[in-house]
Amino acid sequence: MPVDCQVATRGRCGSRGGGQRARGLGWAPFLERARREEKRAEGRRRCGGPASPGGSLSSGQRGRPGTVAAARMAACAEAPELVYLVTGGCGFLGEHVVRMLLEQEPRLRELRVFDLRLSPWLEELKTGPVQVTAIQGDVTQAHEVAAAVSGAHVVIHTAGVVDVFGRVSPETIYKVNVQGTQNVIEACVQMGTRFLVHTSSMEVVGPNIKGQPFHRGDEDTPYEAVHKHPYPQSKAQAERLVLEANGREVRGGLTLVTCALRPTGIYGEGHQIMRDFYRQGLRLGGRLFRAVPASVEHGRVYVGNVAWMHVLVARELEQRAALMGGQVYFCYDQSPYKSYEDFNMEFLGPCGLRLVGTRPLLPHWLLVLLTALNTLLQWLLRPLVLYAPLLNPYTLAMANTTFTVSTNKAQRHFGYKPLFSWEVSRARTILWLQGKEGSAQ
Ligand SMILES: NC(=O)C1=CN([C@@H]2O[C@H](COP(=O)(O)OP(=O)(O)OC[C@H]3O[C@@H](n4cnc5c(N)ncnc54)[C@H](O)[C@@H]3O)[C@@H](O)[C@H]2O)C=CC1
Ligand SMILES: C[C@H](CCCC(C)(C)O)[C@H]1CC[C@H]2[C@@H]3[C@H](O)CC4=CC(=O)CC[C@]4(C)[C@H]3CC[C@]12C
């Protein structure tokens, strides 16, 4: 991400009168209610209370939801024993996974957070009951990964380069996403770590280069997954490596159990692209211009629910190895099916932005021309400056192709239910955009 995009926009929304407008639209009481609801949920989620509404069935208690609270209490009473490693733990998703583990995994003794760049918020986590170990490291360096994995029971591998804008070279994308994942697998094998959860992406499936719609599909929906872009190619390759590694013998003679989670477009506190759109809207006088038809649906999922799925998978992988090993799961929740732009307006609207046009303002051919122009400019300017706008041929194709998921595989296999309702997910994201709440960067 370019440096200017990293600058927090705390307080901006309110100071531009967004808060006023939000109140005018009746948002203030709603947000207040959501905040109260969330506080109550927070209390329930803490150790000892049922993880309502999406409580997992803890190991040994599956099929008896009434005993979940008791099981949690019991787990808390036992000495915590597990060591988890989260790669990419300082990223957008990684931070949520780290915080969710600390909240939701009572058996946790040590949490290792491995990242190329360590974030300052890690310091405040070090004062809690779980030992939080920050490890500055590079997944492309096999020895650094092996050292971090040594002694860990579970690895959650979220580290990766997320770039569809031409900011990072294809070589680096491949090195980090594919070679880095291979290093994580080999480290598990060498060090005798049995459980590996990998963050994959919807992009390993599609949209494909033909722009064919994937409408409310699930993990078994036939679809021609063909990619040209380095990011989806690298994610597809990494996912394959992880799934093929399931069942490999690790040091000590036991077997490796792996699975991959495929989030659709993640949103929530810390979502950089959402903030980019917000800033763009502010620069354009509080307006954004519709570029893609409202009828094109794009799958989105709240970051807290994606993190919760990771925690649940990691927890259940041992007991359900035969069922879950080598499997893929789309990440989903109750977020509505909408176009990419209309979905963003669920948050940007209450912050005072307006989406102009009920139909795309520019004809599609002109947008395609603009993307070509952007590609040319990127190439011409490369020796001088990094020009990486949001609009390019790939992102336009992504935004213009329906890709939505409808599945219950995660519920069937490991009892997943979203932990955050759509209302709470939306409220938390709005509050973060407004700079009023939220921990993420
Ligand atoms: N953001 C999204 O909408 C989606 C993301 N994903 C996947 O989720 C994972 C996390 O993505 P985000 O949190 O959005 O990205 P992010 O860029 O915020 O986080 C990635 C983290 O990995 C770290 N990292 C990058 N290269 C590294 C290296 N060589 N060694 C160690 N750490 C390194 C970065 O420093 C960063 O903290 C990625 O694997 C991505 O492919 C999947 C679907 C959707
Ligand atoms: C930036 C795109 C929207 C452009 C809108 C415009 C300029 C035409 O108005 C985003 C549309 C779809 C997004 C991607 C999608 O959500 C799937 C993803 C999965 C990942 O694993 C990483 C992120 C991403 C590629 C995401 C990136 C932004 C979009 C291309």
Q: Per-block average pLDDT, block size 10, for the chain (441 residues)?
A: 24 28 34 48 39 29 35 55 97 98 96 98 93 98 98 98 95 98 98 98 90 94 91 97 98 98 98 94 94 95 98 96 98 97 97 94 93 95 92 93 97 98 97 72 46
Rounded distance, CA 220 to CA 205, Å? 11
Query: What confidence score (pLDDT) does residue 99 get?
Result: 98
Q: Which residues are registered as beta bridge partners of 298?
A: 338, 403
92 in contact with ligand 1, CB cutoff 6 A: yes
Give CA–CA dist 38/45, Å, rounded: 10
d(CA 260, CA 238): 10
Q: Is 158 in the pocket of ligand 1 (CB under 6 A)?
A: yes
d(C-alpha 369, C-alpha 388), whole Å? 16
pLDDT of residue 409: 98
Is ipTM strictly over 0.95?
A: yes
Known catalytic residue at 231: yes
Look at residue 77 in the predicted model and tell me its pLDDT.
56
Residues with CB under 6 A from ligand 2: 162, 164, 201-203, 265, 273, 291-292, 340-341, 390-391, 395-396, 398-399
The pLDDT assigned to 19 comes to 29
Indicate which ligand has the atom closest to the C-alpha of 268: 1
Catalytic residue selected from 231, 332, 394, 416: 231
Alpha carbon distance 251, 188 (integer Å) = 8
**What is the model's pTM?**
0.86
Nearest ligand atom owner, CA of 92: 1
Distances (CA, A) of 218 to 142, 261, 417: 35, 13, 16
C-beta 232 within 6 A of ligand 1: no
Give me the helices (H) in 118-161, please.
122-125, 142-149
